[in-house]
Amino acid sequence: MSGRRVLVLNGPNLGRLGSREPDVYGATSYAGLVAECTRLGTELGLAVEVRETNDEGELVRWLHEAADGSVPVVINPGAFTHYSYAMRDAAAQRTAPLIEVHISNPYAREVFRHTSVIAAVASGTVAGFGIGSYRLALRALAEELAG
């Protein structure tokens, strides 16, 4: 990998892409998401590392790692988006751009999904474009890093 290091972090249930509610999250598998993010990262001159966990504490540790190393982040916090103040506080410590992504449009779904505790401390949010949300976020990140 060459280029500026970028972490693409994924929260709970995202490892089940392709089989989890395909009418909401699409047919692309998690492996497909990893391949697409890595491919586009290379095209954009970014060294993209994609990670996924169902563990809130692990996501918080990864955000600390990113803050300590000034590593830009694209994050899909999954359900943690709506209530994890620990994740919000970790994201607030960022020392590089952080873009929140969602595959679906949370505002077109259940009311509890309308609140993001992460959005206020993120550089920006991309939602509702399926796996394309990640592509848009990585492109925005590359532009922001190019300054």
User: For this structure, is 134 an active site residue?
Assistant: no
The pTM score is 0.89
Domain 4-146 indexed as CATH 2.40.50.100: no
pLDDT per residue over 14-23, tens digit each? 877 665 555 5
Q: Which one is predicted more confidently, 1 or 143?
A: 143
Cα separations in angstroms, 49 against 5, 86, 129 = 8, 23, 21
Q: From CA 73, how far away is CA 9, in angstroms rounded?
A: 7
Catalytic residue among 64, 83, 85, 102: 102
Residue entry with tokens 């592509």 = 135
Residue 23 among known ligand-binding residues: no
- Concerning whether 64 is annotated as a catalytic residue, the answer is no
Contacting residues for 60 by C-beta, under 8 A, at least 6 apart: 86, 87, 90
Whether residue 113 is annotated as binding a ligand: the answer is: yes
The domain ranges of the chain are 4-146
Single-letter amino acid code for the residue at 118: I
Query: Which bin fits 20, alpha (ψ -120 to 50), beta or left (φ > 0)?
Result: beta
